[in-house]
Amino acid sequence: MKQEAKPARTRTQPDRLRPVTGRHNQRLKELRMAFRRAELTSQGECAIEGVKLLEEALRSGLDLDTVFFCEAARLLADKLLPQINSHTETLILPNALFKSIVPSDAPQGVAALVKLRAFTAAQLLDRASDGPLVVASGLQDPGNLGTIFRSSEAFGAAGIFLTEGTVSPYNSKVLRGSAGSIFRLPFLQISSAELIPLLRARGVRLIATSSHQGTPLPKFSWTLPLAIFIGNEGAGLPRELLREMDETLVIPQAAQVESLNAGVAASIVLYEAARNGFHHGGTEETSAHFLN
C-alpha cells in the first residue's frame, strides 16, 4: 500500500530565530559599528533600536535586512515576527551581548539594520512646490534634529537638507526623536557650497531664522518655493551663509528670553507656514489638512 506523502513542515516562529552567541558574527559587527559611528553600513543600512522605531520602519514600507532580539525579548519576538517579512534574517542574542551593542541604557530587546530610501538633491528640489524646504545648518543637538524631522513631516515640509556641521541623521537619538518621520520624509546630506547654487537655480527664496531681528512671523509671506535655514543652537547661521539669505524671519518673544530651542523654533515656523497656507506665485493652497 502506497504511503501518503507527509505535508511539508511549516516554519514556526521560534524556528525563524537563529541563535548567535559570539560577538564576531558579521552582522553583529555591522550593527555595532553603525551604532557607534552613527553612519550607514557599507551596504547602506541604518541601525535602529526599539519597538516604536521597528514598527514605524515596517509601517513605512522599508526593507529590514536583519532584526536582532535578545533572549529576554522572546515574547516580544512572538508579537513582532508575524509583521516581519519571512525573508528577513532574524537573530537572537544573549542578553549581555545585545546590551553591549545597542546604545540605549534601557534596551527594549530589539534592534535592526534597515535600508532607508535615498534621495538626490534634484528629487528634493522637485518637491519645493509642495511645501517649504528645511535646511539644518550646523545643528549639533540630536534631539533638536529629531524634533525637526518630526515637525517637518507633521506640517508639510517638502524635505530636509543637512549641511556641514550638522549631527548625523543616523544618530540613535535623532532616529528616536524623529519618531519614524525620518523613514518617510526625504532628506539629503550636502555642503552649503553645493546647495546654495542649486536653490538659486530653482528660484527658491532663502530664509534665515533669528531670535533678534527680521520680519515678524505673523507678517511673513509664505510664497513658495522657499527654504528655511535653521542654524547652530548657540551661534546661529555663519556670517557667510547669512549674506546669502533673501530674508530673515523672527519669532516674536519676550525680551528677557535670549533665544528659543532650535527644534522648538523650527516647529513654530513650520506650524505657522501650514496654518497660513502655502502660496505658489500668488495662488494659495490651503494646508488645513496638516492641522486636523
**Residue given cell 511645501 in the structure block:** 131
- In terms of pLDDT, which residue wins out, 232 or 107? 107
Q: How many CB atoms lie within 10 A of CB 185?
A: 22
Q: From CA 213, how far away is CA 123, in angstroms rounded? A: 33
Q: Which residue has the higher pLDDT, 251 or 34?
A: 34
The answer to whether the beta carbons of residues 124 and 57 sit under 8 Å apart is no
Q: Which among 208, 218, 226 has a CA at the least distance from the CA of 252?
A: 218
Conformation bin of residue 252: beta by default, left when phi > 0, alpha when psi is -120 to 50? beta
CA nearest to 226, candidates 249, 201, 203, 244? 203
**80 and 198 inside one domain:** no
- 106 domain-assigned: yes
Beta carbons of 68 and 48 less than 8 angstroms apart? no
Give the end of a domain, one of 115, 133, 157: 115
- Where does a domain end: 49, 81, 115? 115
Helix (H, G, I), strand (E, B) or coil at 183: helix
* Among candidate residues 161, 209, 211, 130, the one with its CA nearest the CA of residue 169: 161
- Average pLDDT, stretch 212-220? 87
pLDDT tens for 175-189 read: 999 999 999 999 999
Does residue 279 have a pLDDT over 60? no
pLDDT digits (tens, 9 = 90+) for 29-60: 999 999 999 999 999 999 999 999 999 999 99
Name the helix (H) or strand (E) containing 76. helix 74-80
- Same domain, yes or no: 150 and 18: no
pLDDT given at position 256: 60
Task: Answer yes or no: is 80 within a domain.
Answer: yes
Q: Please check whether residues 98 and 186 belong to one and the same domain.
A: no
Residue 252 lies in a domain: yes
CATH number at residue 86: 3.30.1330.30
Among 99, 115, 131, identify where a domain stops. 115
Three-class DSSP category at 276: helix
In this structure, the answer to whether residues 237 and 142 fall within a common structural domain is: yes
What total of structural domains would you count in the chain? 2
C-alpha 70/C-alpha 201 separation (Å) is 51
Structural domain boundaries, residue 78:
13-115
pLDDT tens for each residue of 45-99: 999 999 999 999 999 999 899 999 999 999 999 999 999 999 999 999 999 999 9
81 CB neighbour count, 10 Å cutoff = 18
pLDDT at residue 210 in the model:
79
3 pLDDT tier (thresholds 50, 70, 90): very low
Q: How confident is the prediction for the chain on average, in pLDDT?
A: 88
Least confident range of 5-9, 138-142, 199-203, 210-214: 5-9
Phi and psi angles of residue 188, each rounded to the nearest 5 degrees, phi first: -155, 135
Q: Across the strands, what pairs with 66?
A: 89, 113
Q: Is the pTM of this model over 0.85?
A: yes
Does residue 272 sit in helix, strand or coil? Answer: helix
Are 134 and 266 a contacting pair, CB within 8 Å? yes
- 187 part of a folded domain: yes
Q: Above pLDDT 90, what percent of the chain?
A: 73
Decide which of 104 and 46 is more confident: 46
- Cβ atoms of 134 and 152 within 8 Å: the answer is yes
Residues 59 and 161 in one domain: no
User: Does residue 84 lie in a domain region?
Assistant: yes
Q: pLDDT by residue (tens digit) across 106-146?
A: 899 999 999 999 999 999 999 999 999 999 999 999 999 99
What pLDDT does 4 receive? Answer: 47
Phi, psi of 145 (to 5 degrees): -65, -40
Do residues 106 and 231 share a domain? Answer: no
Classify residue 163: in a domain, yes or no.
yes
175, 42, 90, 114: CA torsion to nearest 10: 30
What's the rounded Cα separation, in Å, for the pair 278 and 273?
7
